[in-house]
Amino acid sequence: MGSKGESPRSDGVGFRLTRRGLLAGASAVAGAHLLGGSQGHSVSAVEGPAGFQAGAVASGHAVRGAQVQIKPPPPPPINWRPGHFITHVDVATRRMALTFDDGPSPYNTPSVLRTLASYGIKATFFLVGVNVRSFPSIARAIAEEGHELGNHSIYHTPYQSTALANQIGGNQAIIRDTTGITPVVHRAPGLTRGYSILNTCASYGIYEAHTHMSTFDYLSPRRSAWQLTDEFVRYHRNGAMPIYHDGGNRRPTPDALPSIINYGLSIGYTFVTATELVNSGAPRPARFGYALTAEPTTDSVADDAAEGYVDRCKYDAEAELIAMLDSGDVSLNSQDRSRIVEVLADIETAKQD
């Protein structure tokens, strides 16, 4: 390698050219030997070095061509650290990360993906391992469309920090083996907090993302699409990672999503992935060991209210999969049903261990 500013470049035919050599080629002294080849050698328009036009002849006369950047652009900033606990981000302009928990699901995720694609928006999907195993093609579709994948445990239960921490590594492997993507962000089901979760996140090189914005799409009975849109209008917060849900059986969230996005865009929000949001400002609280209790208690729930922690979803992955089988829905093909049966058997075995 050359000195700073002299990164070698290829001339497309096996020769190497430094920036200093290129500048020297502008002088008449360099003559026809600039490229180390015979006079009259043509340079490809695509592969030729900076400073030469398409079809230019290396005959000792420098020809002005398209300018190229010698140094690569700097890497994007990384404002998170493994084990960080983050609820929101202080940003200079209106930015927000749409996030979807508990998927993938054949009933909700495809519709969410179509809407996001129609607006050119990338979101973050926090995936449950048993659902990834049941619907691997949908998990792969999320990744292939450029959305961020997050870890949301294997089973979504129980809501105890140590038990959920023990599922982080296994779900990292499930998501990686299915999609080729290894998540860098985890969200504990039910927004459960505990030292064991953060310690385990740190050991796997990922951070923990919660939220400080209410959405209420997890409530039962389900709110209507109009109500969900109204909640967004009332409770949107800058730098937020609002939690929506695409897992399980049919939800109103996919129907509400176009109106939510349209309103957000109309008031100046840019929608990005969770990690893009974290890296675009100052994440908060961005502390390690922020959780004070291993399991939810009356005091920790009170602390949650004071700090703005919301959306305590109680999604039951096993019950939802059983309901899918019992529904007799013809949209589930034989392979889907076979995978669900296998996953349910594994869940039962895990309970006995």
Position 297 scores a pLDDT of: 38
- Please report the pLDDT score of residue 121 as a whole number: 98
pLDDT of residue 331: 84
Q: What is the residue range of 62's domain? A: 8-72
Judge whether 225 lies within some domain.
yes
Q: pLDDT digit string (tens) for 33-62?
A: 333 333 333 333 333 333 333 333 334 444
pLDDT of residue 50: 38
Query: In angstroms, what is the C-alpha Rg of the chain?
Result: 26
**Which candidate, 185, 190, 187, places its Cα nearest to that of 160?**
190
| 308, pLDDT greater than 50 | no
- Rounded to whole angstroms, the Cα distance separating 263 from 98 reads 13
Mean pLDDT in residue range 72-97: 88
Is residue 339 pLDDT above 70, yes or no? yes
| DSSP-assigned letter for residue 336 | H
Range from 90-94, 115-119, 213-217 carrying the lowest mean pLDDT: 213-217
Its sign, for the CA torsion 205, 211, 215, 217, is positive
Q: Are residues 57 and 181 part of one domain?
A: no
Winning range, highest mean pLDDT, from 27-31, 157-161, 309-313, 338-342: 338-342
Same domain, 52 and 135: no
Q: Are residues 59 and 153 in the same domain?
A: no
Q: Is the pLDDT of residue 236 over 80?
A: yes
CB < 8 Å & 24+ apart, contacts of 226-232: 226/256, 227/252, 228/252, 228/253, 228/256, 228/260, 229/256, 229/259, 229/260, 229/263, 232/256, 232/260, 232/263, 232/264
| 212 in the same domain as 108 | yes
Per the domain annotation, does 134 fall within a domain? Answer: yes
Residues 212 and 97 in one domain: yes
pLDDT per residue over 118-147, tens digit each? 999 999 999 999 999 999 999 999 999 999
Residue 98: CB atoms within 10 Å:
28
86, with CB counted inside 10 A (0-12, 13-18, 19+), is buried
Q: What is the pLDDT of residues 187-220, one digit of tens each?
A: 999 999 989 999 999 999 999 999 999 898 988 8
Residue with the bigger pLDDT between 332 and 181: it is: 181
* Catalytically active residues, by annotation: 101, 245
Q: How many whole angstroms separate alpha carbon 242 and alpha carbon 234? A: 13
Length of the chain: 353
Question: Which residues, including other chains, have CB under 8 Å from residue 353's CB and lie 6 or more apart?
Answer: none
Residue 311, pLDDT above cutoff 70 = no
> Is there a single domain that holds both residue 98 and residue 145?
yes
Taking 50 as the threshold, does the pLDDT of residue 249 lie above it? yes
DSSP string, 187-204: --GGG---HHHHHHHHHT
Q: What is the CATH number of the domain that holds 279?
A: 3.20.20.370
The total number of structural domains in the chain stands at 2
Domain match, 218 and 251 both: yes
Q: Which pLDDT belongs to residue 156?
A: 95
DSSP strand pairing (124-127 vs 148-151): parallel
Residue 151 has pLDDT above 80, yes or no: yes
State whether 125 and 244 are in the same domain: yes
Looking at residue 314, its pLDDT comes to 81
**Looking at the structure, do residues 66 and 175 belong to the same domain, yes or no?**
no
pLDDT band, very low/low/confident/very high, at 307 (cuts 50, 70, 90): very low
Q: What is the pLDDT of residue 74?
A: 66
The pLDDT value recorded for residue 58 is 38
340 found inside a domain: no
Residues 58 and 122 occupy one common structural domain: no
Same domain, yes or no, for 44 and 134?
no
Average pLDDT over residues 314-328: 91
Domain boundary among 26, 50, 72: 72
Q: Name the more confident of 291 and 235.
A: 235
- 52/157 same-domain check: no
**Mean pLDDT over all residues of the chain?**
80
What is the C-alpha end-to-end distance of the chain, expressed in Å? 57
